[in-house]
Amino acid sequence: MKRAVVFLVAVVAAAIIGGTFVLLLTPEGRSNIAKLRSWWAEPQEAAQTKAVVQPQAVFAQLNVIDDTRGVLSLDEQKGLFDGLSEKFRDPMSLQIRHLRRTTQNRYGVCGEVNAKNGFGGYVGFEPFVGVIAVGVITQIELLDRELATHHPDYLKMQFAKFGCPI
């Protein structure tokens, strides 16, 4: 009986911790937290003006793991996902970080992408540059990961060629 209670407590604790990580680490979870905060603050704001906090629109399939998602609009996020989906075997596993706009072209974007290989393991972040025009085919160019890792000057030169600030 004592083992069953300990096991039950461990399962409940794991569920609570797992749910907390989902809320804090996924874009959908963060938008739900923003909704809860606005709902909680609503009675206090009722005496003042009624302001509604709108979370930023996100394209949930584009998994940006840092806070650079705001660089792109919702349509541009969809375009980037579509362009990257053509390059990788498992587009739902893509992780993107360090998104930024290029200085030479208002439709240009650069960053780093990580994806799973055929065995299900992530292979490491790979730099990319691309052009995203809403309603037009997205062009994405992946830069060589090995050269970028062992020769950081090469990566700086390639990003500079496309107008990506580092």
Query: Is the residue at 63 inside a domain?
Result: no
Mean pLDDT in residue range 146-166:
79
Query: Is the residue at 158 inside a domain?
Result: yes
In whole angstroms, give the CA distance from residue 98 to residue 113: 9
User: Residue 96's pLDDT is what?
Assistant: 92
Question: Containing domain of residue 75, as a range?
Answer: 69-162
| CA 14, 17, 20, 22 torsion-angle sign | negative
Query: Is the residue at 143 inside a domain?
Result: yes
| Residue 52, pLDDT above cutoff 50 | no
Chain centroid to Cα 7, Å, comes to 35
What residue ranges in the chain does DSSP mark as E strands? 95-101, 108-114, 126-131, 139-142
Verify that 84 and 40 share a domain, yes or no. no
Verify that 90 and 149 share a domain, yes or no. yes
- Please tell me the pTM assigned to this model: 0.60
Angle at 88 between CA 115 and CA 112, to 5 degrees: 50
User: In degrees rounded to 5, what are phi and psi of residue 152?
Assistant: -60, -25
Number of structural domains in the chain: 2
Provide long-range contacts, Cβ within 8 A and 24+ apart, for 29-36.
30/55, 31/55, 31/56, 31/58
Query: Is the residue at 17 inside a domain?
Result: yes
What is the band of 53 on the pLDDT scale with cuts at 50, 70, 90? very low
